Structures are given as structure tokens and as C-alpha cells.
């Protein structure tokens, strides 16, 4: 706990040694169902998280736990094939450590994807949602503790976390692909249990359209260090209590896999012009 700026610089150096001068422009975090996109990276260089100082590794199923550096749609990318979650027992600081590290390597943009439960009653499982904003009311935040001014200021602005220009780009690309794209607010819950029906009702009253267990820690840290962020969610299920049935991890994975083809074409289109 209490990483210092030099810790991030050291991790960056260890990665840079493997990259022969390659500088990533865009960091991409692949959520459930999208892991296959990492296999589409050209001239890939793989760097497993467990070979990088201070990195934690993935315990979630379908999350490989490595970076894939290379070209995707003509852009230099760093793909996180597998993300870290707080519910794996990691602190927010550990979960977000990779983002600051890759920022130091040169990446100025972040595409973050996830699967989430649908809170908005007018939408349905399988829909894609552009993240316009997020809610994290409770629990620790990733920027608590001593500020590292090399990354950003103590009291950083959160007005435009999800870059308006990138939101417009995603909406334009979705129209081009003739793909419906919802736009809404993602609310963070720490998990690993799904929410209770009462929590989902509360989330709806508060203005959330989707609930999930990722993305907010990394977006918070990436915004602090000045990255432009595009966030896209696949709504895999109606959130707890909306339907008179239980939720399961299998249902979530199945729906994520079903939406993966459309989801990845939208990301590829955005990547070209972001
Ligand atoms: N809640 C939280 N996270 C999720 C859900 C959900 O209903 N579905 C997929 N990820």
C-alpha cells in the first residue's frame, strides 16, 4: 500500500525493456466476452502481469492476466487481456496500478469495456451502452492516500471523465454500423455478489442505468492522470429484482459472448478515429 511515483516509473521501465521503443497510444481494457480481441492484435508482444513489479494478477475466469502490445486497426495499442477487480481482494490502488503505468509509457487514451446489469426498464439484455457518467457513492476511492502530483492534482475535476468528443465519435460509428447504442450512467458496486433488488431500485432512483463491478476505479485514476476515456458497456442481464428470477454468472457470460461480435466491431471503428 502507498505506492510512490518511483514504483510506477520502475514498472514502466521493466515493460519498456520488452517493447523495443514501441509506444502505445491507446490502452484498451477488455471486459467479459471480449478477450478474443487481444488475439487480433498484430505483431503482438505479450507481457504477463506477474512479470511486472507491483502488478497483481487476474483470478476472474476468462481473464488471462497479461498485456498484449501491438497494432489494432492501425493504432499502437496496449490491451489488458484481463482486468483486476476489487472483489478479487485487491485494493483500489492495486486495481488501478496498471493504468498509471501505461500512462507513463505514453498512452493518452483509454477504451474501457465491461458487462453490467441493466437497471433502465426501457432497455434489454444484449444492448450496448455508451457510458456518459458514473456513480460511486460508497467505499474507498482509488485516489485516497497521499496524492502523486506527477499524475494529477489532489482535488481533480470529474466533469468530463468520459470524453465528450469520444462519446460523439462512438455515437457516429454506431449509426454508421446501424447498431443501436444506448447512453447512460454506470453505477459501481464492489461485488462479488450481485446487487439486491433493493439496491437496484435505489440505483435507479439515483439515476443509474446500469450496475457493475468494474470500470469506475480505472476511469477515476485515468481521468486524474489526464487520459481521454471512452467507456462502453454490454448489458448482459436485467439487474436483480427486475425479473422474477435469480441471476447467474453463466447467464452473464453467455450474453456477453453473444454480444461480442457487435461490441468488437464498434470498438474497432472507434479506435480508427479516436
Ligand atoms: N450486476 C453487477 N455486475 C454485473 C451484472 C449485474 O447485474 N451483470 C454483469 N455484471
How far apart CA 32 and CA 254 sit, in angstroms, is 10
| C-alpha dist (Å) from residue 259 to 72, 114, 232 | 20, 12, 12
Outline where DSSP puts E strands in the chain: 26-29, 42-48, 66-72, 75-81, 109-118, 128-135, 182-188, 210-212, 228-238
Per the structure block, which three cell numbers stand in for 181? 447504442
* pLDDT tens digit sequence for 163-177: 999 999 999 999 999
pLDDT, the chain, mean: 94
Cα 212 to averaged position of ligand 1 atoms, centre (Å):
5
For residue 179, the domain's CATH number is: 3.40.50.1580
Helix (H, G, I), strand (E, B) or coil at 8: helix
Number of domains the chain contains: 1
CA 239 to ligand 1: nearest atom: 7
Domain assignment of residue 104, given as a range: 5-272
The DSSP symbol for 258 reads H
61 pLDDT tier (thresholds 50, 70, 90): low
Is the confidence at residue 22, as pLDDT, over 70? yes
How far apart CA 66 and CA 83 sit, in angstroms, is 9
pTM to 2 decimal places: 0.96
Q: List ligand 1's pocket residues with C-beta within 6 A.
A: 115-117, 189, 194-195, 211-213, 236-237, 239, 247, 252
Amino acid at each position: 500500500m502507498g505506492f510512490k511515483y518511483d514504483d510506477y516509473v520502475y514498472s514502466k521501465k521493466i515493460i519498456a525493456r520488452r517493447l523495443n521503443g514501441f509506444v502505445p497510444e491507446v490502452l484498451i481494457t477488455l471486459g467479459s466476452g471480449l478477450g478474443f480481441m487481444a488475439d487480433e492484435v498484430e505483431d503482438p508482444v505479450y507481457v504477463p502481469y506477474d512479470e511486472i513489479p507491483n502488478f497483481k494478477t487476474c483470478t476472474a475466469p476468462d481473464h488471462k492476466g497479461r498485456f498484449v502490445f501491438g497494432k489494432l486497426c492501425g493504432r499502437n495499442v496496449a490491451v489488458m487481456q484481463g482486468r483486476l477487480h476489487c472483489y478479487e481482494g485487491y485494493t483500489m490502488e492495486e486495481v488501478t496500478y496498471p493504468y498509471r503505468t501505461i500512462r507513463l509509457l505514453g498512452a493518452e487514451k483509454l477504451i474501457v469495456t465491461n458487462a453490467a446489469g441493466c437497471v433502465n426498464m426501457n432497455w434489454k439484455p444484449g444492448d450496448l451502452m455508451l457510458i456518459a457518467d458514473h456513480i460511486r457513492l460508497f467505499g474507498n476511492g482509488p485516489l485516497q492516500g497521499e496524492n502523486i502530483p506527477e499524475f494529477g492534482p489532489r482535488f481533480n475535476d470529474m466533469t468530463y471523465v468520459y470524453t465528450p468528443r469520444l462519446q460523439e465519435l462512438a455515437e457516429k460509428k454506431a449509426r454508421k454500423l446501424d447498431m443501436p447504442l444506448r447512453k447512460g450512467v454506470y453505477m459501481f458496486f464492489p461485488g462479488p455478489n450481485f446487487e439486491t433488488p433493493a439496491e437496484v431500485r435505489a440505483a435507479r432512483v439515483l439515476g443509474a442505468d446500469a450496475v457493475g463491478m468494474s470500470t469506475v476505479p480505472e476511469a477515476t485514476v485515468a481521468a486524474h492522470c489526464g487520459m481521454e476515456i471512452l467507456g462502453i458497456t454490454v448489458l448482459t442481464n436485467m439487474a436483480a429484482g427486475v425479473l422474477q428470477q435469480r441471476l447467474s454468472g453463466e447467464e452473464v457470460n453467455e450474453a456477453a459472448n453473444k454480444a461480442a461480435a457487435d461490441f468488437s466491431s464498434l470498438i474497432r471503428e472507434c479506435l480508427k478515429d479516436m
